[in-house]
Amino acid sequence: MMGADTGSPAQRDLAVADALSLTYTKKTKRFELPALAVPVVDTHAHLMSFWRADPVGALARAAAAGVERIVTIWDPLSDARHAPTAAVYHRLLEEWTSEARALYEQGVREGVVDVSRATPQLFDHVGYLAGVHPYGAPDYNDEAHALVAEALDDPLCLGIGEIGLDYHFDADDNIEAAPHDVQIAAMARQLALACERNVPVELHLRHENDDVARTSHEDAYRVLCEVGVPAAGCVLHCFGEDRATAERFVDLGCYIAFGGAATFKRNDEVREAFAACPLDRIVLETDCPYMAPEPIRGIECEPAMICQTAAVLAADRAARTGEDAETILRAARENALQLFA
């Protein structure tokens, strides 16, 4: 966070310019985020999970880059240390956005923000989803369920997420997958709440890379068929599968969210899925601070970087389908605004 002004005016001006810079460095190479013809919506971010970035600076840079809305995630179990209730998380978001607005406005006054691409309306449109991630499924009890339900009364809470099924062993954090039936029960209960309250839901579905049956998606498809797809919308967050899998969930009425991983060189089948997905079913996300897009993959991701993801995916789809790239970006934006009004 910016804190009190210190140093000379020139030093303060330099600090603001640096805080609002849309140029990122990977090793020795510098990369500037592209300007888009259409404002963009980040439908999935983790503002409490940065290990280096400050949420205030990240929000200010997002507005400077052209991000007009952000949907972040609050998990009453994994985020309990810093935000044990939705009311506490609400206050955090208000504090961050207030400070980010001040930083952005200072940047405008000092001429370091390109106002032709900026979207200051972002500061009035930072909302969140509440839900327990499949990692927390063994601890998803009545108390946790009540916290998720209570969050839905908060005007900043836009729905439920991320919930779902994770059958992958996380070697980085040494996390074993919870028993499948436990995960399915937690997903089904939260999905039922989304249907009951008529709010959108975002699903996290993951399995091992060598799982050719795509078990997490198979089980989630069955749960959606049994419990229902919320009329307000269901999003497959951070989609990393093939065209056939996307089409199957689209046929259920789901939206498919594509993030930085879709730009990775090895993920051509994901880009193929993006190109084949109906325009009225695509949305974009960062899943920050994870999976920054190429060519800055590997550094900490933040919402502003959705501009690079959007530019790459729209250009790739346009080349495959003959559609206009701006039309693709407009469709993704309109879908996100409809989902998270």
Domain made up of 39-339: CATH architecture: Alpha-Beta Barrel (3.20)
Per-residue model confidence (pLDDT) at position 174: 74
| Helix residue ranges per DSSP H, 125-214 | 142-151, 180-197
Distance of CA 298 to the CA centre of its chain: 17
Q: Distances in Å between the alpha carbon of 291 and those of 9, 46, 130?
A: 36, 12, 22
* Mean pLDDT in consecutive groups of 10 residues from the start of the chain, 341 residues: 46 80 95 98 97 96 98 97 97 98 97 97 98 97 98 98 92 82 98 98 93 91 98 97 97 98 97 98 98 97 98 98 98 98 85
Report the pLDDT value the prediction gives residue 341, as an integer from 0 to 100: 85
pLDDT at res. 175: 79
Please list, in sequence order, all residues whose beta carbon lies within 8 angstroms of the beta carbon of residue 108, skipping any fewer than 6 positions away: 115, 118
- Considering just the CA atoms, what is the radius of gyration of the chain in Å? 19
What pLDDT does 171 receive?
67
Q: Where are the domains of the chain?
A: 39-339
In the chain, the amino acid numbered 40 is V
What is the pTM assigned to this prediction?
0.95
